[in-house]
Structure 1
Amino acid sequence: MEAQAQVPVSDADPTPPADTSDPAAEIAIDARRISKVYRGEDEVRALDNVSVTIARNEFFTLLGPSGCGKTTLLRVIAGFEPPTAGTLWLNGKDITRLPPNRRPVNTVFQSYALFPHMSVANNIRFGLEMLGKPKKQIDEIVDEMLNLVQMQAMKSRRTSEISGGQQQRVALARALAPEPEVLLLDEPLSALDLKLRKEMQIELKRLQHETGITFVFVTHDQEEALTMSDRIAVMSAGRILQIGSPQEIYQRPAERFVANFIGESNFLDATLSGNAVTFRTGGTYEVERPADVEDGAVSVLLRPEHAILSSDPSALPATVETVVYSGEATSIHTRLDSGEALKVRVPNAPHSGGLPEQGAPVRIGFAPGALTVLKD
């Protein structure tokens, strides 16, 4: 691990974020050209010139695969990692060199780091006592936090005697108790089972809405990101590839990596000419042409749920390879006449039937607007 790095003067920006009269647009976090390089036998660039602004009272998610830099960026915001270059502003103040204990920021980690010998209430109380708050105020805050996370009935139980989901609630209450300006969450749901994880996704969103605190959430789970976030930043190899609402990221990915990482995807080779694409298997279809894509070879994204089995003779010809039932939907894996794989997802209705069998010839269509053109 490298020693404390000094931020180059050329990268330091003394200008605070511009004030705005619109509270919804006020900036909580403003990261400017942040880089983090670990030097050793092999130089590792964990963050590569990352810039991002996060609004106050926003649920913002850093999403990407392992090693993409999302946790490193979270640690830079927390103050646990000094940036090699760039500056970091929090509510209009430059905190680039401020130590963690002087930042109005709290972190909830994957391991909740609770005191197992203490009660639920005392775990929440501990940090407030360390801040030197009066006893009466501490009692009021602890009661408020217990009510917020719905743990009043278990306030006297040791944290070693409660479930994983309940421990997570206590960790959240403890982090929220000092009223930080920003709460950082480093994959806090990863240790929970699927059903509890889904429940806690809704619970986290509720807590963020009720407290009005800016949440910065790190995950590699696309469903978590789509379910909870106001905006998502998709990261890869130390860079942010796209920032947008869940709908924007899912429906209009900026590039193939983002499209492939968010949700299931069909990618079809095509040739773009003007405002139309022609597939290898035949058929020319109108599309919304991206401004930065030139005529020629492109990839076209078609989500499985946007593909439909069709009787239209102009639809794409294919052969069914596998039919997979998964409860709420059935996935039909097909092979186009061009040799490309294409999946169709059909919602299951009560007493639904009539799905094609393996080896059956089918045609696959899609509604207008279902195709997204990506750079090849």
Structure 2
Amino acid sequence: MTSNDGRSASVAVSARSVVKEFGSGNSVVRALDDVDIDIRENEFFTLLGPSGCGKTTLLRIIAGFELPTSGTVLLGGKDITALPPNERPVNTVFQSYALFPHMTVAQNIGFGLRMLGEPAGKIDERVSRMLRLVQMEPMADRRTDQLSGGQQQRVALARALAPAPKVLLLDEPLAALDLKLRKNMQIELKSLQAETGITFIFVTHDQEEALTMSDRIAVMRSGQILQVGSPREIYDAPTHRFVADFIGEINILSGQIGAASGDRAKVTLKDGTALEARTPEGWTGSGEVAVAVRPEAARLAVGGEAATIEGTLENLVYFGAASHLHLRLGTGEEFVIRHSGATPGLSLTPGARIGAVIPPDQARVLE
């Protein structure tokens, strides 16, 4: 396996043909549907998707809290499918943190090491290092019920990191924090992962959170992994309509695809407008397709410039640094342009006829 920078990368965790079903008979629910995934060592890997897509179930199977109905889980190439949680070199940080309120911060951090029977000297040394790592040294003797939400989250992380697990699982640990603190903790989490070198597997339904922190992202829906890639690949080159629609804001247009040349093809929209779009690798499809264009990828046609598409301006939403222009195309579809800057000679009042330029490499045909 090769990392994004071209170097070889060892696999930390693998799932092979993992299926998980709950219930029986007519009421059976398939939470995971033949999942295959490789997660690399020293990687911040995120499972992203809406509620009920199976991401937490997959995390719990890796942790050992759930057994798969079928399939195999490997850690460092070793089959751990049947191992109980306490025999796996894996720790979990839950959304609720699950700290012991009657213990101090230091006692909470050292709890796992005491359960492993580590000598007192090693426990003290490790706790001190973890306190420094999460910047909680002044709070060492304070009870956890006297801490803020962000401080409790740091303690939960330190406790999970203290035994030096090969893999750290994080089940939406930032969900209970307010927006500003959550953004700060995103940066801290990524820094902690880089400093410790431990593989982090992070579960979230927050697209921005995933894009901010991850080395790679797996987008899930209905128990299946639809696409795995770097944040840039997932955002700029979605291969599936759900992925394109779920990650950030996007315009999706319907049309008929013509003959492809290399990685590009002509797509004719419902009103007869033709545009050029990139096709997925190995594309052999034909007929009706969906074309995705990010709002920031399109720009206004000004100064007599030829427009790729045209529409009527229905609404302008001001965001400070930029504005969103909502156009109604001749197809009846809405198209949003994210625009910043001047528009010499162009009216931006509702009802105005607006042209947009879409560079060929910014429109993508979706599977």
The answer to whether 1:176 aligns with 2:168 is no
Closer/same/farther in 2, CA of residues 207 and 95 from structure 1, 3 Å limit: same
Closer/same/farther in 2, CA of residues 133 and 353 from structure 1, 3 Å limit: farther
Q: Distance in 2 between matches of 1:231 and 1:36?
A: 24
User: Conserved in 2, the CA contact under 8 Å of 1:124 and 1:170?
Assistant: yes
The answer to whether 1:346 aligns with 2:339 is yes
Q: Distance in 2 between matches of 1:355 and 1:89?
A: 60
Q: 5+ unaligned residues in a row in structure 2: which ranges?
A: 260-264
Name the SS of the counterpart of 1:287 in structure 2: strand
Please point out which of 192, 196, 207 is paired with 1:222.
207
Closer/same/farther in 2, CA of residues 328 and 164 from structure 1, 3 Å limit: farther
The answer to whether 1:96 aligns with 2:88 is no
Residue aligning to 1:285:
275
What is the number of equivalent residue pairs in this alignment?
353
Residue aligning to 1:25:
9
Q: Distance in 2 between matches of 1:357 and 1:117?
A: 63
| Offset of residue 268 of structure 1 | 0.7
Q: Distance in 2 between matches of 1:292 and 1:80?
A: 40
| Offset of residue 187 of structure 1 | 0.4
Please point out which of 51, 56, 78 is paired with 2:36.
51
| Offset of residue 320 of structure 1 | 1.3
Name the SS of the counterpart of 1:76 in structure 2: helix
| Offset of residue 23 of structure 1 | 8.0
User: Conserved in 2, the CA contact under 8 Å of 1:330 and 1:348?
Assistant: no
Residue aligning to 1:8:
none
TM-score, normalised to structure 1, is 0.90
| Offset of residue 66 of structure 1 | 0.6
Q: Distance in 2 between matches of 1:202 and 1:333?
A: 34
Q: Which amino acid aligns with 2:315?
A: T
Q: Which moved more, 1:352-361 or 1:322-331?
A: 352-361
Q: Distance in 2 between matches of 1:314 and 1:224?
A: 35
Output aligned runs, 1:63-82, within 5 Å.
Answer: 63-82=48-67
The answer to whether 1:38 aligns with 2:61 is no
Q: Distance in 2 between matches of 1:24 and 1:294?
A: 33
Q: Which moved more, 1:353-362 or 1:147-156?
A: 353-362
Closer/same/farther in 2, CA of residues 348 and 105 from structure 1, 3 Å limit: farther
| Offset of residue 355 of structure 1 | 7.2
| Offset of residue 135 of structure 1 | 1.0
Which deviations, in whole Å up to 9, do the C-alpha atoms of 1:149-194 show, x marking residues without a partner?
1111221222111111111011000000000000000000111111
**Sequence identity percentage:** 59
User: Conserved in 2, the CA contact under 8 Å of 1:59 and 1:230?
Assistant: yes
Output aligned runs, 1:191-206, within 5 Å.
Answer: 191-206=176-191
Residue aligning to 1:330:
323
Name the SS of the counterpart of 2:360 in structure 1: coil
Please point out which of 288, 313, 337 is paired with 1:320.
313
Output aligned runs, 1:116-265, within 5 Å.
Answer: 116-265=101-250
The answer to whether 1:303 aligns with 2:297 is no
Q: Distance in 2 between matches of 1:303 and 1:159?
A: 45
Which deviations, in whole Å up to 9, do the C-alpha atoms of 1:198-220 show, x marking residues without a partner?
11111111000000000000011
Closer/same/farther in 2, CA of residues 327 and 167 from structure 1, 3 Å limit: farther
Name the SS of the counterpart of 1:369 in structure 2: helix
Q: 5+ unaligned residues in a row in structure 1: which ranges?
A: 1-16
Q: Which runs of 4+ in 1 moved over 3 A?
A: 352-355
| Offset of residue 353 of structure 1 | 12
Residue aligning to 2:262:
none
